[in-house]
Amino acid sequence: MPLLEQRSVNELARRRHATRFCVITAKYIPWDPIGAMPDDRKDGRLMLLWEGDRPVIGRWDDGRKGWEAPEGMHLFEEITYWADINSPE
C-alpha cells in the first residue's frame, strides 16, 4: 500500500476511536408561511425555502411564475415556508 494511502487508513482508524466530538450550533431560522412573503423577495435573490419535508435554496423565476433550483433550474412544487438567507452573526 502506498504511504499516502496508509496514512489515510491510519487517520480514519484514529478518528473512529476518538472520544472527542464537536457540536455545531446554528442561529434560529425564522420561517414564515410562503403566503406572507413580501413581493420584494421575488426579485431573483436566493432564498431559503421549505419544500415538502426539507429545506432548499431557490429563487423566484418571474417568467415561469414559480420557485426554481439555482443549479438545475427545475421548479419546486411544494414550497410552504420561506426565510431570508443571512450571514452567521
Domain that holds residue 38: 27-83
What is residue 28's predicted lDDT score, i.e. its pLDDT? 80
pTM over 0.85: no
- Name residues of the chain where pLDDT drops below 50: 1-5
Angstrom CA distances, 61 to 1, 39, 58, stand at: 52, 13, 9
Burial of 83 (0-12, 13-18, 19+ CB in 10 A): middle
Angstrom CA distances, 42 to 3, 30, 37, 79, stand at: 53, 18, 9, 14
Residue 31: inside a domain, yes or no? yes
What is residue 21's predicted lDDT score, i.e. its pLDDT? 52
Number of domains present in the structure of the chain:
1
Residue 63: inside a domain, yes or no? yes
Residue 19: inside a domain, yes or no? no
Residue 20: inside a domain, yes or no? no
